Amino acid sequence: MKISYLLVCLFTVSLCLNATPIAVNNAGFEANVLNNGSSIQSISGWSFSGVAGSFNPTSAHYPGDVIPEGNNVAFSNAPTISQILSTALTANTTYTLLVDIGRRLDNPAINYSVQLLAGGTLLAEENSLSFNAGQFKTSNVTHVTSANPTQLGQQLEIRLVKFAGGQVNFDNVRLDASTTTVPEPGSFFLLALGFFMAGSLRSSRTKFSS
């Protein structure tokens, strides 16, 4: 029984998703070295309009050591911070975009959206987290492509959107692409042989014990 269970596990693993990180430029917003409490209206690798930039928070903004990655975050008082990636959309792929979002201690409730696009077309977004003052939470955006998606081959884009009310902080942007690995025919044969041998062994043990 244990042998059969092990073989089933091996078969399942052989069909698992292999996650590959996609490069995001200045993903932690650490490109600019800033003093504590200082900010600059510049975010290397990202585009924005209006009042946005890089910010090094202090304990007056977030209690303790709660900054998710490094010292800096991105701040936005304006609509959108965005980056068009060098990676294109592929078929039969699961994309997972993770972004840490923060609400400052001195901020009212925040309104945001984390978006994944391809060729300028919105694929998926997340905008439903609620925050206590001085807190970061992780936004999770997932999109699964079909065998022939409309935006196939078009460049991926990340948008960090701020809506009305206060300032939103973003940090630690990660994007993974996962594809299914199918075993070679020879692997299927070996797995089938293993199942047969396990069944024969279990049958022999049953006869012997009776």
Structure tokens at 173: 């942007």
Distance from C-alpha of 92 to C-alpha of 30, rounded to nearest angstrom: 33
Position 173, amino acid: V
Q: For the stretch 1-24, what's the b/e string if a residue is b when 16 or more beta carbons lie within 10 angstroms of its beta carbon?
A: eeeeeebeeebeeeeeeeeeebeb
> pLDDT for 117-141, tens place per residue?
999 999 999 999 999 999 999 999 9
> Count of alpha carbons within 13 Å of 185, Cβ hemisphere only?
0
DSSP alpha helices (H): ranges in the chain? Answer: 2-14, 185-209
What is the pLDDT confidence band of residue 200, given thresholds at 50, 70 and 90?
low
Nearest alpha-carbon partner for 156 in 95, 209, 75: 95
* 157, 72 contact by CB (below 8 A): no
Query: What pTM does this model have?
Result: 0.80
> Count of alpha carbons within 13 Å of 156, Cβ hemisphere only?
24
* Residue 79 confidence (pLDDT): 87
> pLDDT for 81-104, tens place per residue?
999 999 999 999 999 999 999 999
